Structure 1
Amino acid sequence: MNRRILIIEDDSEILDLLIIALEKQGYNALGCQNGMDALRQFEQNPPDLVLLDIQLPDMDGFQICRHIRNVSNIPIIFISCLSDGSDVILGLELGADDYVTKPFDLYQLFARIKANLRRAPIFNRGAFPTVSLDPQNKLQQPNSETQRLHFGDLEIDLIYQRAVVRGKTLALSYKEFSVLSLLAQKVNQIISEDKLHHWIWGTESNGDTRTLRVHISNLRKKLEAYPHLPSYIRNIRGQGYQFVWES
């Protein structure tokens, strides 16, 4: 089954280039040049991944990202000429998984698409299982013995990618849940930013740990009763992050 990619880009030349290039890579590429058509296409033909420009004629990419995140956790990659840090961070805070800036190298983009799709296998579009870590830190699918993790009021279901805290199911993106589940499976161990970023975004990523920090911040806002005084996910200065739990 060919993976379906929705491209939302108002520049017709770039859109046509991406459609042709992605179809040559074996993807089923669909293109839209404005937000309303994109949202309509998203509802009628749910994609496996979205490439999303920020500057569009009728609404900006941030609005589209927010709408998609209200109904789905599929991977979203921003493609934009806006490389300003605040724009990048806003996109990530709204739930985007990654970003590339124009002009971009097509093969780098292909690698980023492949990495995000690999971490979001087909499972019922929009709901993806996560992965766990074996003792050698290799990614593997969760088994029946490790499919649920319990930490007091927090339950993490690795199969259905669901986290429930204080009786409330958290609305987590795929990347947010991946960060939470990987940290929780290494409870009380400190994981460096570089290692955690590599596990979640892969070697194809741009290596910008700012992306990870934004996802950690988003996760704390949803998970922690007091995000400014986190009890689960702590930053160990100069070392990395730690999921803290004392049974």
Structure 2
Amino acid sequence: MKTLLIILSFVCCFSACNKQQKAEEEKWISLFNGENLEGWTVKITGYPAGENFGNTFRVEDGLMKVRYDAYDTFNERFGHIYTDKSYSHYKLRVEYRFVGEQVTGGPGWAIRNSGAMLHSQDPHTMHLDQDFPVSIEAQMLGGDGENERSTGNLCTPGTEVYIEGVPYTGHCASSTSKTYHGDQWVTMDMIVLGDSIVHHVIEGDTIMTYTHITVGGGNVSPAPNIAPGPLKEGRISLQSEGHPVDFRKVELVDLSHQYK
């Protein structure tokens, strides 16, 4: 009995030490300070980088909010807010929720729709009227209260990937996540390792995995001035596609030192 207690004590201690070591190794960096948009640059279709038309992206009550009260109609003014730094190997965590109603003139597919754009191109290199940055999108979708609608999907603006070892030729591939209805907060992790592999994770489950990330394909207008090839790094950006959304947390663990 005494031996068994010693073994159990050792196992518990080992498990606790591993958890503590993992917590110490995962040094989370907050990309959003909860007070202002310092460290971020806005680019909205039809406006130069740095011009936050209509105060689309704003900080209120400690949240980064996307709002459209200055819009008479959406008019395809797709927007993104970009980190001023580029990243290659990292774990990204975003907490988001959809609120309110879509702005007048917003596309039907964009209801309760946003995303975290990974390996985004520098907003200063985009055409004035370019709709989306070359990137890989971890798409965020909210349910309509009735129908199934997965989140954490993959979309490929100006990029190409492999899924399960096969080139993916579509634009958006559905994940295996459950549907999140209403205005509830959802936490999504993205594990990004250069151009080799990306995982989308919700509630501890990997819901989407893809590999071989390259520049190429369509779904960006007008066509960007970026040569095809491996997409190893880039900015992180969050979308404004016509539906109000709040971001409560945007934080990152830099893994680059592990892959030098």
Whether the TM-score (by the shorter chain) exceeds 0.5 is no
**Greater relative contact order, per chain length (Cα 8 Å cut-off, separation 6+):** 2
TM-score (norm 2): 0.31
Q: Which has the higher strand share?
A: 2
